[in-house]
Amino acid sequence: MKMDDDAPVIYGLEFQARALTAQTAETDAIRFLVGTQSLKFDNQIHIIDFDDENNMINKSVLLHDAGEIWHISGSPADKAVLTTCYSKTSENRVLTCAAVWRMPPEWESGSHESPDDSSNNPQTLELLCHLDNTAHGSVACVLWEPLGDGKRVISLAENHVLLWDLQESSTKATISSTATLEGKGQLKFTAGKWSPHHNSTQLVTANDTAIRGWDLRSMSQIYCIENAHGQLVRDLDFNPNKQYYLASCGDDCKVKFWDVRHINEPVKCLEEHSHWVWSVRYNHSHDQLLLTGSSDSRVILSNMVSISSEPFGHLVDDDDLSDNEENQQEDKGKEPLQDSIIATYEEHEDSVYAVEWSAADPWLFASLSYDGRLVINRVPRALKYRILL
Amino acid sequence: MSSATTPPDSDPTGRRRVHSMLKLYYGLNEEGTAAEQAESLDPCDINGPHFDPEVYLNKLRKDCSLCELMDHESCMVKQIRSLDSDMQTLVYENYNKFISATDTIRKMKNDFKKMEDEMDCLSANMAAITEFSARISGTLQDQHAQITKLSGVHTLLRKLQFLFELPARLNKCLELQAYAQAVSAHRRARCVLQQYSHMPSFRGIQDDCHVIMEQLAQQLRQKFRDGGSSAKDLSECVELLLQLDEPAEELCDKFLSHAQSRLEADLQGLEAELKDSAFTDTGGGSVQKTSPGSNPISPSSSSVINPFLSPTAGTDILEFIDRGCNEFVSSLCLVIASYQELFINRPQEGELASKNIPEMANGKLHVFVDTLAARYFSLVERRIQEEKGVGDNSLLVRALDRFHRRLQAITKLLPGSAVPSHGTEIVVRAARERIKQYLSALQTFYHDSLTDVRQALAAPRLAVGGASASGGGVTSKDATPSLPELLTSLSNFILNQLKSVLASVHLFTAKDITFSNKPYFKGEFCSQGVREGLVVSFIKFICQSSRQYCESAGDRGGSTPPALLLLLSRLCLDYETSTISYILTLTDEQFLVQHHTPVTPVTALCAEAREAAQKLLNHYVKVQGLIISQMLRKSVETRDWVNTIEPRNVRAVMKRVVEDTTSIDVQVGLLYEEGVRKAHSSDSSKRTFSVYSSSRQQIRYAPSYTPSAPMDTNLLSNIHKLFSERIDIFSPVEFNKVSVLTGIIKISLKTFLECVRIRTFGRYGLQQIQVDCHYLQMYLWRFVSDENLVHFLLDEIVGSAAHRCLDPSPMEQSVIEVICERG
């Protein structure tokens, strides 16, 4: 292993960007997708491959000429399929639309030979279908069914929840059911998350300062945390291992953890950022690791042991260990694990709007700031070993 | 005589022997000659005892010449002659003495002869007397024996008569109530009766006596039970009963149970009173609000029972304790005293002494006193607990003092008893409780004051004489008080309240209070109780409650007015700088606190206060920033920036922002100092504006409008950021106006930036943003510590808007200026 293994790897995009996702279906390569935002030039999707061995980045660029990308999301079943939310200007009207795309099959072969050329001659995404939303207004985000077969997506458009069925190899999208949030004023969803628990029958959405849970079978609200944050709620994420636990972040600079069975008070509250927190992500495997990105240009990695599924550290099967006593002693020394900030990453110089864990390597994550800087970081090795051992 | 007359020359050895024999005869010891003898072992020494004439002669013959021998002989003859004449002189001198001695001896011989005859005569007479005497006693022998026997019978008969008369006598005694006589009589007869009880007649007597004595005991017991009789009677009674073999234990028990019933009555009286007052005493608890000026908790108003201050309609605690002391404690003391008199302090005689009554009695007494005292104490404690109104402390202190003082009597009476120490514990507990009550009263007071301040703040500025809103806390004659006035009055109120509480608590340690010299009141009460438990806790409470304002508000509707946050922050800061050390010094001086146990140091408290102040100010900045942010956010989010019309004037919201900022500036300026500005360009906004507009803006935005090189924008922007410091938006602020304002403006402009970034702008939209930013630029720079900060953020906003613009054609700088000038 190299000495500077923990050092961040930085990649700069030419355009401003806010959309970042890990390629969900890809479990071998460490791969992130970044969508750019430019009103004047053709927008792109950068496919960032991280070579863990050599600590290097290989990129490929696909053209996304439909408009600037606000949100991007990869299919959990087919790694070539993805959705974007993009804004389209027509007749002096800006509308954010959503569409399902397929990456051209050749992008991989084309990119590796001459990375420099790729920008010159980028390939175009193949449109599979629009998630037609003219009736419902701008789309905030598109969510794939977690762990699903890539045939169901939800789009959040203004105050509507739209559940889509993708048919005929995702070339046709039909609305299977909808729900609408009614209330005073102009209600608008800002973020949402499809729960991986309960057989993927639950959805959580954020609008203004409230967090709402939905049952997708009946398309009805099941709980509502009013004033979950002092100001706008920006992002949500489910604990991948504890079905009732949920993290949220918002403009009050706080990250809050909720047990949706007891919504009166958050289980825990973090206030480490000095400006709005735009993104919060649980590590997929080790749910004590939590990543947050904020417009104070910082990314913070926290270790929330006390509310994780492993509050006493990694549960080691004692049977597997021949030398029990030693291990027990170690365990005792390890036991009082406390919630702590592991690291604050300051590589960004502009607001960080997105952070993502890699789908392939649980110890690796990427963060994207508005100025187009993508930073790939690792969980500090000391912590990694402490969690593993 | 003969030897003495022997001529000396004939036999010197013989003469010497005679000499020594004489000496022996007269008891002269030989010591004087011992040395001489040792010296003259030589047989040739003519004067030595071992002188041997043969050897001497031989020696002379051998050694000396004839001539010498002759000389020696003549010398010796001369010596012998002189010795001879000496001897003769001595004999003559003593001759007369010998003669008279011989005469005397002869005379004595004659006298003794005469005496011997008389003695013979005497002995003959004595023999005759002896004979006569023997004859007489022989004749009288028989009669004497008879008389002795008769006299024995007489005594026995008298005893028997006594026995036979005993029942009657006892009865008589009983009638006459001469119990003592009866008992002593009975005691005398008891053994005999016991011994001869197998004989029917004696048995009868014994039974009779028994019955009578039983009766007597009954009467005694009755008398004892009545108790009304004098102490002396009672003691006699007990004495007699004890002599009557009445078990002492039972007596003690009886005595005590009798006393107990009386004491119980006292206790029940007290309890009844307690119940009465429990009904009436309900509304204690909080410090009365009174108009400022008159001290609400004045220790001077000691004996005056102010009905307003002491909510007990029934008896106050002093009366209660008084009653307890006078009734219960004094009767308890009486009981103890008389009991001791009866059972413990009596000289014990006879078989009673062996029963070890005092020890048993003492044990019983202790148990008795302890149980009753425990009940009394529980009552007193209940009463003390009811004493919740913190108005007049002196009453309680005096009550406790009295309580404690009266218990000292028990100490004197009953030296080993735990009762007084229990009493002291109660006092200590009461004092502790009192401190707690004062603390909570102070806390309530603090909350009330804050509520008043809140109301005063909420009252519209225009209201004249609206002082009614401010109740007891804040008053001002003609107008709603300004922030500094509110601050000083609040701080003064708290301080005065604290001082008066200290004064009240100080009563506990006054010199004339009996318990004030107990170790607890000298040490722990002062340091742990007053200093830590009261003063330090209160200061900590202020800090903590202040912090709570930061936590609860903002998130969940609990809206604290920002002005209150500001005021509290200043209050905490003042505490940090001066008030805390003042209060603690005052406390230490008043209570002469000797820190045996570790106490919270002033610095720690100050740090806490400072932390609270910082938190409050940060929160103030956050809240105010949020208010302005919300205006800006709404203004950006609700507008259709693509289809907007050409800007003709500054949007109203921007004016509102400037107005609000100005009023915040005024508000903060009332409580906080100005602070330092960086690179103050004291000129007009014009100049800074020109720098901002011409040089910087042109360079910054020019490339972004030309669609040739998209990289340049980022590059330039990044280079710019490289050289400017990272801006922490919600960062802690310093305790001055400029820093506070900088914080608020930072928050507002950052919000503006982030909102702009998620919108898309048309041509005129961008221009409107340009106008708005220029307007903000004109007015906001003056509030902040570093105007470059405002420039940078506004640049960033306009830059982002330009980026997000579909048709980025900026407005002419001159036009912008005109629009902004116009207002």
pLDDT tens-place string over residues A85-95: 998 887 778 88
Residue A365 DSSP class: E
B803 CB within 8 Å of a chain A CB: yes
The per-residue pLDDT for A259 is 92
In A, minimum Cα distance to B731 occurs at: A274
In B, minimum Cα distance to A351 occurs at: B754
Q: One-letter amino acid identity for B450?
A: L
Q: Which residues of B touch A227 (CB under 8 A)?
A: 555-557
Domain regions of chain A by residue span: 9-388
ipTM above 0.95, yes or no: no
**How far is Cα of residue B598 from the mean position of the Cα atoms in its chain?**
16
Residue A226 CA to residue A211 CA, distance in Å, equals: 7
Inspect the interface and report whether the beta carbons of B805 and A253 lie closer than 8 Å: no
The per-residue pLDDT for A35 is 92
**How far is Cα of residue A23 from the mean position of the Cα atoms in its chain?**
10
Inspect the interface and report whether the beta carbons of B803 and A39 lie closer than 8 Å: yes
Inspect the interface and report whether the beta carbons of A227 and B556 lie closer than 8 Å: yes
Residues 6 or more apart whose CB falls under 8 angstroms from that of B514 comprise B401, B404, B405, B408
Strands (E), B111-182: none
The per-residue pLDDT for B311 is 45
**Does the structure show a pLDDT above 50 at A113?**
no
Residue A212 DSSP class: E
Q: Which of A299, A375, A354 is nearest to A48 (CA)?
A: A375
> A148: helix, coil or strand?
coil
B1 CB within 8 Å of a chain A CB: no
Half-sphere exposure of B657 (CA within 13 A, CB side): 33
Cβ(B610)–Cβ(B573) below 8 Å: yes
pLDDT band at A355 (very low <50, low <70, confident <90, very high): very high
Residue A352 CA to residue A356 CA, distance in Å, equals: 11
> What percent of chain A shows pLDDT beyond 90?
25
In B, minimum Cα distance to A370 occurs at: B757
Cβ(B446)–Cβ(B467) below 8 Å: no
Residues 6 or more apart whose CB falls under 8 angstroms from that of B820 comprise B650, B771, B774, B775, B778
| C-alpha to C-alpha distances, B406 to B326, B410, B412, B419, nearest whole angstrom | 9, 8, 11, 11
Q: Which of B539, B537, B504, B533 is nearest to B433 (CA)?
A: B533
Among the partner-chain residues A15, A297, A370, the one whose CB lies closest to the CB of B757 is: A370
Inspect the interface and report whether the beta carbons of A41 and B707 lie closer than 8 Å: yes
Inspect the interface and report whether the beta carbons of A231 and B626 lie closer than 8 Å: yes
Tell me which residues of chain A have a C-beta less than 8 Å from any C-beta of chain B: 12, 14-16, 38-41, 87, 89, 92-94, 227, 229-231, 252-253, 274-276, 295-297, 346, 349-351, 370-372
Burial per residue of A46-82, b for 16 or more beta-carbon CB atoms within 10 angstroms, e otherwise? bbbbbebeeeebbbbbbebebbbbbbbbbbbbbbbbb
**How far is Cα of residue A322 from the mean position of the Cα atoms in its chain?**
40
Strands (E), B412-465: none
Residues 6 or more apart whose CB falls under 8 angstroms from that of A178 comprise A160, A161, A162, A163, A219
The CATH T-level fold of domain A9-388 is Methylamine Dehydrogenase; Chain H (2.130.10)
Q: Does residue B800 come out as left (phi exceeding 0), alpha (psi in the -120 to 50 range) or beta?
A: alpha
A-interface mutation test, from B705, B713, B757, most A Cβ less than 10 A away: B757
Residue A63: strand pairing partners: A44, A124
B804 CB within 8 Å of a chain A CB: yes
Inspect the interface and report whether the beta carbons of B726 and A297 lie closer than 8 Å: yes
Inspect the interface and report whether the beta carbons of A252 and B555 lie closer than 8 Å: yes
Residue B314 DSSP class: S
| C-alpha to C-alpha distances, B775 to B13, B644, B804, B819, nearest whole angstrom | 165, 19, 21, 9
The per-residue pLDDT for A238 is 92
Query: What is the layout of strands, in order, in the sheet containing A373-378?
Result: A9-12, A373-378, A364-369, A352-357
**Closest chain A C-alpha to B806 CA, distance in angstroms:** 6
Residues 6 or more apart whose CB falls under 8 angstroms from that of B660 comprise B627, B628, B631
Model pTM score:
0.68
B-interface mutation test, from A71, A138, A295, most B Cβ less than 10 A away: A295
Residues 6 or more apart whose CB falls under 8 angstroms from that of B523 comprise B594, B596
In A, minimum Cα distance to B730 occurs at: A274
Among the partner-chain residues A38, A92, A274, the one whose CB lies closest to the CB of B729 is: A274
Q: Which residues of A touch B714 (CB under 8 A)?
A: 12, 14, 16, 371-372
**Closest chain B C-alpha to A332 CA, distance in angstroms:** 33
Residue A280 CA to residue A247 CA, distance in Å, equals: 7
In terms of Cβ atoms closer than 10 Å to its own Cβ (0-12, 13-18, 19+), residue A382 is: exposed
The per-residue pLDDT for B18 is 59
Paired tokens of A3:
């000495």
The per-residue pLDDT for B629 is 87
Inspect the interface and report whether the beta carbons of B714 and A351 lie closer than 8 Å: no
Paired tokens of B296:
């609400």
Among the partner-chain residues A274, A296, A349, the one whose CB lies closest to the CB of B718 is: A349
Residue B498 CA to residue B506 CA, distance in Å, equals: 12
Residue A324 CA to residue A318 CA, distance in Å, equals: 7
> A86: helix, coil or strand?
strand
The per-residue pLDDT for A376 is 92
pLDDT in tens, B259-308: 777 788 888 888 887 776 555 444 343 333 333 333 333 333 333 333 33
Paired tokens of A85:
């939310």
Paired tokens of B275:
């119940």
Q: One-letter amino acid identity for A120?
A: N
The per-residue pLDDT for B38 is 52
Q: Which residues of A touch B643 (CB under 8 A)?
A: 92-93
Among the partner-chain residues B721, B731, B805, the one whose CB lies closest to the CB of A349 is: B721
B714 CB within 8 Å of a chain A CB: yes
Q: Which residues of B touch A15 (CB under 8 A)?
A: 710
Phi, psi of A340 (to 5 degrees): -155, 160
Helices (H) and strands (E) in chain A, counts: 4, 29
Q: Which of B508, B501, B506, B583 is nearest to B295 (CA)?
A: B501
Positions of chain B with pLDDT under 50: 1-10, 30, 32-37, 280-313, 462-479, 553-557, 681-714
In A, minimum Cα distance to B716 occurs at: A371
Q: Which of B500, B502, B574 is nearest to B535 (CA)?
A: B502
Residues 6 or more apart whose CB falls under 8 angstroms from that of B613 comprise B546, B569, B570, B571, B572, B573, B575, B576, B735
Cβ(B159)–Cβ(B192) below 8 Å: yes
